[in-house]
Amino acid sequence: MSTRLALSQCPRFFRLLTTRSCRPTPCSINIPQSAVGDVRCLWVSSRTRSYSSTAKGFGVPSTRLHTSATSSQRLSPAEWWRRRGSNPPAHGTVVRPRRRGATAFITLFGFLGGTVLGFYLYDREGFNHNVLALVRSSRALKTGFLMGVDYKWSLRDDEAKIGKEEYERRKSACHQRSADRMLELCKDNQGIYIKLGQHIAAMVFLLPLEYTETMRPLQDRCPMTPFADVEALFKSDLGCSISDMFSEFNPQPLGVASLAQVHRARLLTGQEVAVKVQHPYLDEYTPVDIATTCFIVRLAKKVFPQFDFDWLAEEMQESLPQELDFVNEAANAQKAKALFADQSVLHIPEVYWSARRLLVMEFCAGGKIDDVEYYRKHNLSVMEVSAELSKIYSQMMFLHGFVHCDPHPGNIFVRPRPRPLLSYIPILRWFLSNPHNFEIILLDHGLYRQLSNAFRLDYAHLWASILAGNEPDILLYSYKLFSYGKYGSASPAKASDGIEYHRLFASMLTGRSWDVISDHETGLAQKRTTHEFEVIKAKASTGRFFLAIADILAKLPRELLLLLKSNDLLRAVDEKLGVADAGAEGGMDHMLRTVATMGWYCALAIKRETTRQMVAQRAEMGIVRPVWTEEAYWRSVVGYWRVGIRVWALEAWLWGRRVFRRLSAAG
């Protein structure tokens, strides 16, 4: 005799014996009546031992069933202690164990959540600041991590294994992916990250083209601060509103940079001014951003020992605090204005009032230095503007030693002015402070570098050697400059991987190939051709040249690094104006004039500094004999006049050729 039991009424043990894919069906099976009790006992006994082995894969936890069938079993002290005080379960029920891991996790989560909520309620402003700082840092760390992994994986095979062409292709693709990641990071975090991106974009001849081209949009696309935040900044820093200081204030900024934005306003006296306002969020996040950047750079150095970019982090640590202090910027502007007081071709706006995050200065209208349409509209000569800009920076570097180190197009304007009548006479125009029909306006004086006299003299000697194509002197003064700062030594280093470092450094400084520099006939006076640019680009993209450039940048003193950046920015302006192109009209004349002008200021700096050092030595030693009795003095004088006569002869020749061309065209 058998008893019919539906599967839905069978104990759970039967369902455990089936696979996961099996589903209970309304079918039935025949079980003898005498076996029913055995089946139930079997189910009860099965629940008294662990299912961890028999029910593996079904997700059933290990447990024991407390029924009358198990009451006669002897319990261990630990088991008895765990079950104490609990009522015995009903017959046929399963007691679920307490999940201690889940309980601990919930407790910890609740504790942390309560702590975070407490901090938020206690100091909401500080809490939001910390959260945003954490988000910014996590973005930077994530980007740095992805870039490191990408480089490690993409360049896991060396050049000898996969071939030079494939290796360069992989490296270029990796450069581009990393540059895209960095661009997104700069756009998301803004602030000093945009400044970092602009710094990278400026180093056209020093860093891979993928980075400099990708970062170029950051030069003109900076997010603006809302006007409400500008008003709040006035109240927090000055304790007064905008209407208390200005009769008019345009809420739409004239220009937005990475660190500040400029508004047009009118004082209560009626005078029109430009108001420079720092982005308020920089005060909160700059220390965190600098620390994060330094951490990523040091981490990258450990992962990639061959790439040493500590100079980038150190430069940010040194330069950013200066740029964020507008009182320091006002002092720099006043000093530069005094140094160029006798030259009206350069105009530096007058600073009326300054605070740490606010600056009120003279309003100056004009066009950007690289705006070719503005030149055409106001009948300005791009050749003359470029030549005068080269003169201004030659004086800064070689004569004054006080250099404006951020000459990108947004910081240099040009505006028209009436041209003096005497400027049309070749000899008399030399006595005019500004014989041109334009003025160059220099803005943003936050980043300057003061050069020591010894550094300035060696730098002038180096440029004089480069202009003359004198390789022994280039070698000497290149490594003398390396001796300044904490890196490098004055002794020349051996060539690495077939690369002469002094030649590469001269090319980095001038943006020209060594074949052009070493040409004793024309040298740097040659126009830059497309072929030359392609040669420089091809060499800079190769692995050994890239490593050599990174090594040189790591050894350079900070002053020389900023001078390299300034030279790159000035060359970028010339390229945008088209004055150095092979096909530009008058391009050869412009290059000749630029090289001659730089040689003039180098010779003048050497003469002045040599005389100053000789006078100082005699005063220290108590020697009364005049300096003109020394041979070194006359060498510097002869060198100065040799260059000066060449410059005058060149100017006269270029003027005569222009007149001849005009007469020929008229006839």
Residues annotated as catalytic are: 406
Residue located via tokens 């100053």: 612
3-state DSSP of 199-212: HHHHCCCCCCHHHH
Give the pair of three-digit tokens for residue 509: 């400084």
Q: Are 367 and 415 in contact (CB under 8 A)?
A: yes
| Integer Cα distance of 383 and 357 in angstroms | 37
Extract the runs of DSSP E, i.e. beta strands, from 7-122.
28-32
How far lies 196's CA from each of 199, 259, 312, 315, 381, in Å?
5, 11, 9, 10, 33
| Integer Cα distance of 176 and 164 in angstroms | 18
The SS3 assignment for 55 reads: coil
Residue located via tokens 């006269």: 652
The SS3 assignment for 264 reads: strand
Nearest to 570 by CA among 416, 387, 347, 402: 387
Q: Where are the alpha helices (DSSP H) in 218-368?
A: 227-238, 282-303, 310-323, 326-339
Please name the helix (run of DSSP H) or strand (run of DSSP E) that holds residue 362, with its range, or none. strand 358-362
| Integer Cα distance of 342 and 434 in angstroms | 10
DSSP character at residue 98: P
Q: Are 167 and 158 in contact (CB under 8 A)?
A: yes
How far lies 547's CA from each of 331, 396, 501, 556, in Å?
39, 31, 11, 14
The SS3 assignment for 222 reads: coil
Q: Are 5 and 27 in contact (CB under 8 A)?
A: no
Q: Are 535 and 167 in contact (CB under 8 A)?
A: no
